[in-house]
Amino acid sequence: MKNFEARYHEWLDGALSPAEAAAFERELAAPPHGIDPTAERSAQAALGDLLRRHVAGAPPMPHGDFFNSELQRRIAADAKETQPAAAEPAALPAPGWLQSLLGRLTLASAACLLLGVVGYRAFVQPQLIDPTQRPETEYLASVLETKTATSAVSATSFSLPAEKATVLWLSGTEHIEVEAFAKEDPSDEPNEPDAL
């Protein structure tokens, strides 16, 4: 069931059937409305005419061309405001103290990591290699070379895990002159080779 206002407009627009219109006019004339249907219809028609005539006499839009150009100017200004932000990447903010600190920490961490890798490769990794696969201990040979009087002497070491022993093999000691030993420690006897 449509409400009174909906039926009123259908009646006013002539959208009701004759029977519906007659029923509505009886309702309109009865309390609480008490509206004379004929007078109401003509009053609404007159009101519409009055409003339309009034609007027809209203001033047209002044400066229509300026209206358009002003609108285009606003649109262009708005586009200019929004486009740079979209086209250009946002500028990086100036590094703050936190970013500076983080940068330095990163560099320090990288340096520590590099030193760690070098140290590992130089000192730890060689020790982890299976000793049976390691014919020489370069570190030991190097130390001995610095201690030998002549470069003709060389040292070779290897370990025997089964015997829990490390062997140091010296060769070339025959080239060491007896006097050299005598000068350093007169009590030492020159030895024939060469094993410890």
Out of 20, 26, 30, 68, the residue judged to bind another protein by CB under 8 A: 68
62 binds another protein (CB under 8 A): yes
Q: Which is nearer to another protein, 40 or 134 (CB)?
A: 40
The residue range among 70-78, 115-123, 130-138, 181-189 that interacts with another protein, by the rule CB under 8 A, is 70-78
Tokens of 128: 């982890």
Q: What are the backbone dihedrals phi and psi of residue 21, each rounded to the nearest 5 degrees, phi first?
A: -65, -40
Place of tokens 């140290």: 119
What is the spatial distance between Cα 55 and Cα 49, in angstroms, rounded to a whole number? 10
What is the spatial distance between Cα 139 and Cα 168, in angstroms, rounded to a whole number? 12
84 binds another protein (CB under 8 A): no
Out of 22, 26, 30, 51, the residue judged to bind another protein by CB under 8 A: 51
Q: What are the backbone dihedrals phi and psi of residue 153, each rounded to the nearest 5 degrees, phi first?
A: -90, 135
26 binds another protein (CB under 8 A): no
Taking alpha carbons only, the member of 196, 127, 133 closest to residue 166 is: 196
81 binds another protein (CB under 8 A): no
Give the binding site for another protein (CB under 8 A).
Answer: 3-6, 8-9, 33-36, 39, 43-44, 46-64, 67-68, 70-72, 74-76, 78
